[in-house]
């Protein structure tokens, strides 16, 4: 019989424990790969229930108008699972997986689907399912979570056909996610409530804001320079006038010292162009 050291026995027990733990993780987390990505386990009924739950919890769906028809695609490797979602008088009906990956449409967009939403992977769908908000889609890169395929109201490549029927069925829904500037950016200007002066899409809105700010700064700067310049001119004129008064007072004082009469002094000053009222006011001081 082979004798086993205590250290070797502990090592074997440790390895068996690790193997058991990994087995339990793999068993209880069938929807997650070792990379952390959600993996479809083949349960179509569970997938359909998840689609129904997402429709109930994603805010835009609550505002979609009646008679709306949406196809949701979920891609997993080479497979695509499609679910047809119809709004009958405010109540959603989810059907699927459909035989056609385009639901009621075909590959040439012949059919009745208003919008076809493609989730780029099952993992992308589960990310949205776990966080059914607009933010996770808006914060992701284009095509990272979803992509809009050509359909009744979406032209290639993903541009909305914003007509009267689209406005009636979907404008209230998209405004759950997009503000006025974003509606313009994504070609859904028809859904805007109003058009503000400072509302422009994306980088143009920021550029417009900084142009207006710069213009206001330039106007304020130029106005300040002009005010200071005018003030300096007025101060200079005041100093000059004060110098003239001092000169006039000095001349009158010297004239009196030389024995000239007040009338004679006044006459000579007026003849030289001095203002009579100014001359009178200074003569009163003597």
State which of 143, 176, 199 marks the end of a domain: 199
Residue 208 shares a structural domain with residue 194: no
Confidence (pLDDT) at 28: 46
- The answer to whether residue 211 scores a pLDDT higher than 90 is no
pTM of the model: 0.56
Q: How far is residue 84's CA from residue 52's CA, in Å, rounded to a whole number? A: 11
- The answer to whether residue 205 scores a pLDDT higher than 90 is no
Residue 111 shares a structural domain with residue 171: yes
Residue 75 included in any domain: yes
Residue 38 included in any domain: no
Q: How many domains does the chain have?
A: 3
Residue 171 shares a structural domain with residue 194: yes
State which of 151, 182, 199 marks the end of a domain: 199
Residue 137 shares a structural domain with residue 186: yes
Residue 238 shares a structural domain with residue 146: no
Confidence (pLDDT) at 268: 82
Confidence (pLDDT) at 61: 92
Residue 114's CB is within 10 A of a number of other CB atoms, namely 24
Residue 87 shares a structural domain with residue 210: no
Residue 246 shares a structural domain with residue 278: yes
Weakest mean pLDDT among 39-48, 168-177, 189-198, 213-222: 189-198
Q: Where are the alpha helices (DSSP H) in 38-134?
A: 44-57, 122-130
Residue 9 shares a structural domain with residue 58: no
- The residue with greater pLDDT, 32 or 211, is 211
Average pLDDT, the chain: 79
58 token code pair: 């994603």
Residue 110 included in any domain: yes
**Confidence class of residue 183 from pLDDT cuts 50, 70 and 90?**
confident
User: Cβ neighbours of residue 48 under 8 Å, at least 6 residues apart?
Assistant: 83, 94, 96, 97
- The answer to whether residue 271 scores a pLDDT higher than 90 is no
Confidence (pLDDT) at 32: 46
Q: How many Å separate Cα 211 from the centre of its chain?
A: 18
141 token code pair: 């890169």
Q: How far is residue 65's CA from residue 71's CA, in Å, rounded to a whole number? A: 15
State which of 140, 174, 199 marks the end of a domain: 199
Residue 140 shares a structural domain with residue 255: no
Q: How far is residue 231's CA from residue 70's CA, in Å, rounded to a whole number? A: 70
Instruction: Output the domain CATH number for residue 108.
Output: 3.30.1050
**What's the pLDDT tens digit per position in 121-172?**
999 999 999 999 988 888 888 788 988 888 888 887 667 888 889 989 999 9
- The answer to whether residue 30 scores a pLDDT higher than 50 is no
Residue 237 shares a structural domain with residue 117: no
Residue 35 included in any domain: no
Residue 113 shares a structural domain with residue 184: yes
- The residue with greater pLDDT, 11 or 250, is 250
Residue 37 included in any domain: no
Confidence (pLDDT) at 72: 93
Residue 232 included in any domain: yes
| Mean of pLDDT values over 96-104 | 83
Contact 145, 137 (CB under 8 A): yes
Residue 218 shares a structural domain with residue 117: no
**Confidence class of residue 265 from pLDDT cuts 50, 70 and 90?**
confident
Domain ranges, residue 132: 44-199
CB pairs under 8 A, 24+ apart, for 185-194?
Answer: 186/160, 187/159, 187/160, 187/162, 188/160, 188/162, 189/162, 190/162, 190/163, 190/166, 191/162, 191/167
**What's the pLDDT tens digit per position in 54-84?**
999 999 999 999 889 999 999 988 889 999 9
Q: How far is residue 286's CA from residue 284's CA, in Å, rounded to a whole number? A: 5
Residue 59 included in any domain: yes
Q: How far is residue 95's CA from residue 85's CA, in Å, rounded to a whole number? A: 6
Residue 36 included in any domain: no
**Confidence class of residue 18 from pLDDT cuts 50, 70 and 90?**
low
């Amino acid at each position: 019989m082979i004798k086993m050291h205590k250290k070797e026995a502990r090592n074997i027990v440790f390895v068996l424990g690790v193997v058991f733990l990994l087995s339990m993780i793999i068993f209880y987390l069938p929807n997650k790969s070792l990379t952390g990505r959600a993996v479809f386990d083949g349960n179509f009924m569970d997938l359909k229930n998840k689609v129904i739950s997402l429709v109930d919890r994603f805010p835009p769906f609550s505002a979609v108008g009646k008679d709306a028809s949406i196809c949701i695609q979920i891609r997993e490797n080479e497979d695509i699972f499609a679910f047809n979602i119809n709004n009958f008088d405010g109540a959603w009906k989810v059907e699927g997986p459909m035989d056609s990956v385009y639901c009621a449409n075909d590959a040439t967009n012949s059919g009745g689907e208003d919008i076809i939403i493609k989730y780029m992977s099952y993992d992308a769908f589960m990310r949205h399912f776990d966080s059914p908000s607009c933010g996770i889609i808006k914060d992701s890169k284009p095509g990272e979570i979803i992509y809009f395929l050509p359909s009744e109201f979406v032209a290639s490549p993903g541009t909305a056909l914003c007509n009267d029927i689209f406005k009636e069925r979907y404008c209230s829904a998209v405004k759950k996610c997009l503000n006025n500037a974003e509606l313009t950016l994504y070609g859904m200007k028809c859904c805007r409530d109003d058009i503000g002066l400072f509302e422009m899409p994306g980088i143009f809105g920021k550029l417009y804001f900084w142009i207006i700010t710069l213009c206001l700064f330039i106007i304020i700067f130029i106005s300040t320079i002009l005010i200071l310049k005018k003030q300096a001119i007025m101060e200079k004129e005041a100093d000059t006038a004060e110098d003239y008064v001092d000169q006039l007072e000095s001349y009158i004082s010297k004239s009196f010292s030389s024995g000239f009469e007040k009338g004679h002094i006044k006459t000579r000053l007026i003849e030289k162009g001095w203002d009579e009222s100014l001359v009178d006011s200074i003569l009163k001081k003597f």
